[in-house]
Structure 1
């Protein structure tokens, strides 16, 4: 969004203009409390403010690292990423990754997924070296968890290829693409 342009304050429920109420997550406006109440059931699933409060309550409840906290951090990171709040997404993905490694070890699907999502965040931030490192980690873990010939491994290869291409390494990128293509052909 260009500087000086404000997001239109349109009610997220009825579409009325100049909606004065804003959810604390800053993602949606409402024209009145009735509209806010009517859409809360759906909005709460994607309300970063509400999810952050739930995460803090869960942390207080369990008192330490727990799979439920890792999942909540991952979900919150995904929502932040969808909203292009990349530094907040990075923070949540790093926390989810740390907890998953501590509790489940390096070689689990959650580590591969969090690494891949963190790589996307780094990629969007232009931090290509960090992105490539995380894409490779996601690939390595996916291979270990699923073995070659799995869709997630082929997808991870494509991600590595894309990052290599952005870094100006088209030959290496092409090799990864060809490896991914061979997997896709075998799968489908």
Structure 2
């Protein structure tokens, strides 16, 4: 679990081209494609790609890492289970807009089966996998509702049990003032929103924001994530449009500063603001952000490929010293 938490912040400090270089070098010069070390690099590569909006590349990398680890360690290895969990989450992100979560559900079930056979019931790794399963359950129910089908209360209740289990373990292991604990509060907030328990949802989101702000500072992307969730609750369910407006603008400010003005997550904030201004009958502001959203969508379409970090040219025979030199002289 410590490794997973550390990797979140360390990999954000590594430019994408460095991971691209390691990805190729590890294969080409050192271990070959069927080695555990190569699988580890591919696994980290998948994680990085997911966090720079390249979900398709992320899934491809995770699948390759899973295949290699299975061929070396067997289908029931703990390390295979870890890849299944991350692959499930990447599939969840990809399938979020389609509502078809078959792949995500398949991989998270495999991850949980492996971990339950090897870990104690109070393991944080198992709790992490169950958190992903809860997120998938929630989206399945929401898609049923949006299609006019009956609300599946059983799945929502299962999701709540999984989130509460993960929250309990996080509080026991890390304490209240911890980012992981805050994430679980945020997950419960989203779930309670889906269950129409809006006051409870508000309380969970506010807890998540308070903890993340205290631990990470007010301008961290994790804060923006929770702020955006609370804005959605206020906008679509509680009719607190002025509060929602302030939160959407804050989320846009933080995310634009960190990820740039064409970050994929901004779409939800722009759509939310358009809804707010429509409800408040503020036509000028509505037209302004409708145009911003249209421009954003056009630019995203033109880019096609996901946003990438600054790149440097690497030839086939580049070695470690070569890439280090080019990295430290990128701006000269």
Same fold (TM over 0.5): yes
Report the 3-state secondary structure (helix = DSSP H, G, I; strand = E; otherwise coil) of the residue aligned with 2:265: helix
1:147 is displaced (CA, Å) by: 1.6
Matched positions, count: 148
1:112 is displaced (CA, Å) by: 1.5
- 8 A contact 2:193–2:233 mirrored in 1: yes
Report the 3-state secondary structure (helix = DSSP H, G, I; strand = E; otherwise coil) of the residue aligned with 1:94: helix
- 8 A contact 1:55–1:69 mirrored in 2: yes
Superposed, which structure 2 residues align to 1:11-50 within 5 Å?
A: 27-28=153-154, 46=159, 48-50=160-162
2:279 is aligned with 1:145: no
2:283 is aligned with 1:170: yes
Q: Counterpart in 1 of 2:188? A: 76
Q: Counterpart in 2 of 1:115? A: 227
Q: Counterpart in 1 of 2:174? A: 62
Q: Counterpart in 2 of 1:156? A: 269
CA distance in 1, matches of 2:187, 2:267: 24
Report the 3-state secondary structure (helix = DSSP H, G, I; strand = E; otherwise coil) of the residue aligned with 1:151: coil
CA distance in 2, matches of 1:148, 1:51: 32
CA distance in 1, matches of 2:274, 2:199: 24
Cα separation, partners in 2 of 1:144 and 1:45, compared to 1, 3 Å: farther
- 8 A contact 1:150–1:183 mirrored in 2: no
Q: Counterpart in 1 of 2:247? A: 134
Q: Which moves more between the two structures, 164-173 or 148-157?
A: 148-157
Which runs of 5 or more structure 2 residues have no equivalent in the other structure? 1-152, 302-332
CA distance in 2, matches of 1:121, 1:112: 14
1:140 is displaced (CA, Å) by: 1.3
CA distance in 1, matches of 2:243, 2:164: 26
Find the partner of 1:103 among 215, 235, 238.
215
Q: Counterpart in 2 of 1:37? A: none
- 8 A contact 1:101–1:111 mirrored in 2: yes
Which runs of 5 or more structure 1 residues have no equivalent in the other structure? 1-26, 29-41
Cα separation, partners in 2 of 1:68 and 1:45, compared to 1, 3 Å: farther
Cα separation, partners in 2 of 1:110 and 1:45, compared to 1, 3 Å: farther
Higher gyration radius (CA): 2
> How big is the alpha-carbon RMSD for the aligned residues of Structure 1 and Structure 2?
2.0
